[in-house]
Protein backbone atom coordinates (compact mmCIF):
# COMPACT_ATOMS: atom_id res chain seq x y z
CA UNK A 1 0.00 0.00 0.00
CA UNK A 2 1.25 3.48 -0.84
CA UNK A 3 2.51 5.57 2.05
CA UNK A 4 0.09 8.27 3.18
CA UNK A 5 1.34 11.85 3.55
CA UNK A 6 1.37 11.53 7.35
CA UNK A 7 4.04 8.82 7.22
CA UNK A 8 5.82 9.91 4.04
CA UNK A 9 9.41 11.06 4.55
CA UNK A 10 9.33 13.35 1.49
CA UNK A 11 6.05 14.99 2.54
CA UNK A 12 7.65 15.63 5.92
CA UNK A 13 10.65 17.26 4.21
CA UNK A 14 8.37 19.39 2.02
CA UNK A 15 6.40 20.47 5.11
CA UNK A 16 9.64 21.19 7.03
CA UNK A 17 8.75 18.62 9.67
CA UNK A 18 12.17 17.01 9.27
CA UNK A 19 15.38 18.66 8.07
CA UNK A 20 16.84 18.37 4.59
CA UNK A 21 19.33 20.23 2.41
CA UNK A 22 16.83 21.97 0.14
CA UNK A 23 18.69 23.51 -2.78
CA UNK A 24 15.60 24.71 -4.70
CA UNK A 25 11.87 25.18 -4.21
CA UNK A 26 9.03 26.53 -6.30
CA UNK A 27 5.23 26.10 -6.46
CA UNK A 28 5.40 22.49 -7.68
CA UNK A 29 8.56 20.85 -6.37
CA UNK A 30 11.58 20.84 -4.12
CA UNK A 31 15.09 19.68 -4.98
CA UNK A 32 17.20 18.30 -2.14
CA UNK A 33 20.55 16.64 -1.63
CA UNK A 34 20.13 12.87 -1.30
CA UNK A 35 21.19 11.96 2.23
CA UNK A 36 22.95 8.81 0.94
CA UNK A 37 24.50 10.11 -2.29
CA UNK A 38 25.83 7.95 -5.11
CA UNK A 39 28.13 10.92 -5.76
CA UNK A 40 28.57 14.32 -4.12
CA UNK A 41 25.79 16.58 -5.39
CA UNK A 42 23.28 13.73 -5.99
CA UNK A 43 19.91 15.51 -6.14
CA UNK A 44 16.32 14.40 -5.67
CA UNK A 45 13.65 16.43 -7.45
CA UNK A 46 10.39 15.84 -5.59
CA UNK A 47 6.94 17.04 -6.70
CA UNK A 48 5.08 18.60 -3.77
CA UNK A 49 1.93 16.57 -4.42
CA UNK A 50 1.99 13.17 -2.72
CA UNK A 51 1.61 10.52 -5.40
CA UNK A 52 3.34 7.17 -5.48
CA UNK A 53 4.66 6.86 -9.01
CA UNK A 54 5.25 8.74 -12.26
CA UNK A 55 2.04 7.35 -13.78
CA UNK A 56 0.05 8.98 -10.96
CA UNK A 57 1.20 12.53 -11.80
CA UNK A 58 -1.19 14.87 -13.58
CA UNK A 59 -0.06 16.22 -16.98
CA UNK A 60 0.15 19.68 -15.49
CA UNK A 61 2.41 18.76 -12.54
CA UNK A 62 4.50 16.50 -14.78
CA UNK A 63 5.05 19.42 -17.16
CA UNK A 64 5.96 21.80 -14.32
CA UNK A 65 8.41 19.32 -12.78
CA UNK A 66 9.84 18.30 -16.15
CA UNK A 67 10.64 21.92 -16.93
CA UNK A 68 12.89 22.04 -13.86
CA UNK A 69 15.15 19.17 -14.91
CA UNK A 70 17.30 21.01 -17.51
CA UNK A 71 17.89 23.93 -15.15
CA UNK A 72 18.75 21.71 -12.20
CA UNK A 73 20.96 19.56 -14.45
CA UNK A 74 22.87 22.62 -15.65
CA UNK A 75 23.27 23.78 -12.06
CA UNK A 76 24.45 20.33 -10.94
CA UNK A 77 27.15 20.31 -13.66
CA UNK A 78 28.27 23.81 -12.67
CA UNK A 79 28.38 23.19 -8.93
CA UNK A 80 29.89 19.69 -8.93
CA UNK A 81 32.15 19.98 -11.97
CA UNK A 82 30.84 16.57 -13.07
CA UNK A 83 31.36 15.50 -16.68
CA UNK A 84 27.76 14.31 -16.99
CA UNK A 85 24.81 13.05 -15.00
CA UNK A 86 22.12 10.38 -15.00
CA UNK A 87 18.41 11.06 -14.47
CA UNK A 88 16.97 8.04 -12.67
CA UNK A 89 13.32 7.57 -11.79
CA UNK A 90 12.29 4.33 -10.08
CA UNK A 91 8.67 3.11 -10.17
CA UNK A 92 7.71 0.22 -7.91
CA UNK A 93 9.66 -1.98 -5.55
CA UNK A 94 10.67 -4.23 -8.44
CA UNK A 95 12.37 -1.22 -10.05
CA UNK A 96 14.18 -0.24 -6.87
CA UNK A 97 11.74 2.35 -5.53
CA UNK A 98 12.11 2.64 -1.77
CA UNK A 99 10.33 5.93 -1.00
CA UNK A 100 6.74 5.78 -2.26
CA UNK A 101 6.52 9.45 -3.23
CA UNK A 102 7.46 10.06 -6.86
CA UNK A 103 10.92 11.61 -7.33
CA UNK A 104 13.72 12.04 -9.87
CA UNK A 105 17.37 11.34 -9.10
CA UNK A 106 20.02 13.54 -10.76
CA UNK A 107 23.31 11.69 -10.27
CA UNK A 108 26.61 13.41 -11.12
CA UNK A 109 29.00 11.27 -13.17
CA UNK A 110 32.75 11.46 -13.36
CA UNK A 111 35.27 9.52 -15.45
CA UNK A 112 36.17 6.31 -13.63
CA UNK A 113 33.57 6.75 -10.89
CA UNK A 114 32.73 3.01 -11.13
CA UNK A 115 28.97 3.57 -10.70
CA UNK A 116 28.30 1.74 -13.97
CA UNK A 117 25.25 2.17 -16.20
CA UNK A 118 25.04 -0.64 -18.75
CA UNK A 119 22.22 -3.15 -18.29
CA UNK A 120 22.02 -6.49 -20.10
CA UNK A 121 20.20 -5.66 -23.35
CA UNK A 122 18.25 -8.27 -25.32
CA UNK A 123 16.85 -8.83 -28.81
CA UNK A 124 13.29 -9.24 -30.08
CA UNK A 125 12.39 -12.56 -31.67
CA UNK A 126 10.68 -12.93 -35.08
CA UNK A 127 7.58 -10.65 -35.19
CA UNK A 128 7.73 -9.71 -31.52
CA UNK A 129 9.01 -6.19 -32.17
CA UNK A 130 6.28 -5.45 -34.77
CA UNK A 131 3.58 -6.95 -32.49
CA UNK A 132 4.81 -4.97 -29.49
CA UNK A 133 4.84 -1.77 -31.54
CA UNK A 134 1.24 -2.49 -32.66
CA UNK A 135 0.15 -3.15 -29.05
CA UNK A 136 1.52 0.21 -27.97
CA UNK A 137 -0.13 2.05 -30.84
CA UNK A 138 -3.50 0.40 -30.09
CA UNK A 139 -3.23 1.15 -26.37
CA UNK A 140 -2.46 4.81 -27.07
CA UNK A 141 -5.51 5.40 -29.31
P1 LIG B 1 14.34 5.40 -4.47
O2 LIG B 1 15.09 4.10 -4.32
O3 LIG B 1 13.01 5.37 -3.79
O4 LIG B 1 14.26 5.84 -5.91
O5 LIG B 1 15.26 6.48 -3.79
C6 LIG B 1 14.99 7.06 -2.55
C7 LIG B 1 16.16 7.97 -2.23
O8 LIG B 1 15.78 8.78 -1.14
C9 LIG B 1 17.43 7.19 -1.80
O10 LIG B 1 18.50 7.53 -2.68
C11 LIG B 1 17.67 7.67 -0.37
O12 LIG B 1 19.04 7.85 -0.07
C13 LIG B 1 16.90 8.98 -0.31
N14 LIG B 1 16.37 9.29 1.01
C15 LIG B 1 15.65 8.47 1.81
N16 LIG B 1 15.33 9.10 2.96
C17 LIG B 1 15.86 10.35 2.88
C18 LIG B 1 15.86 11.46 3.77
O19 LIG B 1 15.31 11.44 4.87
N20 LIG B 1 16.48 12.59 3.35
C21 LIG B 1 17.10 12.66 2.12
N22 LIG B 1 17.70 13.82 1.81
N23 LIG B 1 17.13 11.63 1.26
C24 LIG B 1 16.51 10.47 1.63
ZN1 LIG C 1 4.67 12.07 0.23
User: How far apart (Å, rounded) are the C-alpha atoms in residues 106 and 88?
Assistant: 7
Residue 2, pLDDT score: 47
User: Considering the domain boundaries, does residue 24 fall inside one?
Assistant: yes
User: Considering the domain boundaries, does residue 46 fall inside one?
Assistant: yes
Q: Is 27 a catalytic residue?
A: no
Residue 57, pLDDT score: 98
- Secondary structure element (H or E) that encloses residue 123, with its range: none
Give the domain range for residue 51. 9-115
For residues 39 and 84, is the Cβ–Cβ distance under 8 A?
no
Residue 107, pLDDT score: 98
Among the bound ligands, the one closest to the CA of 47: 2
User: Considering the domain boundaries, does residue 45 fall inside one?
Assistant: yes
What is the count of structural domains for the chain?
Answer: 1
Residue 4, pLDDT score: 61
User: Considering the domain boundaries, does residue 133 fall inside one?
Assistant: no
Q: What is the pTM of this model?
A: 0.96
Positions in the chain short of pLDDT 50: 1-3
Listing from the earlier edge strand, what are the strands of the sheet with 29-33? 22-25, 29-33, 43-47, 104-109, 84-88
User: Considering the domain boundaries, does residue 141 fall inside one?
Assistant: no
Which residues line the pocket of ligand 1, CB cutoff 6 A?
9, 20, 32-36, 44, 90, 96-99
Residue 83, pLDDT score: 97
User: Considering the domain boundaries, does residue 56 fall inside one?
Assistant: yes
User: Considering the domain boundaries, does residue 4 fall inside one?
Assistant: no
Domain with 96 in it: what CATH number? 3.30.428.10
User: Considering the domain boundaries, does residue 138 fall inside one?
Assistant: no
Amino acid sequence: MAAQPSDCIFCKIIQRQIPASIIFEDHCAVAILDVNPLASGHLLVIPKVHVNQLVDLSDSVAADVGRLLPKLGRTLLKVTGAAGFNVLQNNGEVAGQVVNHVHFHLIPRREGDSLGYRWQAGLYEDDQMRDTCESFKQALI
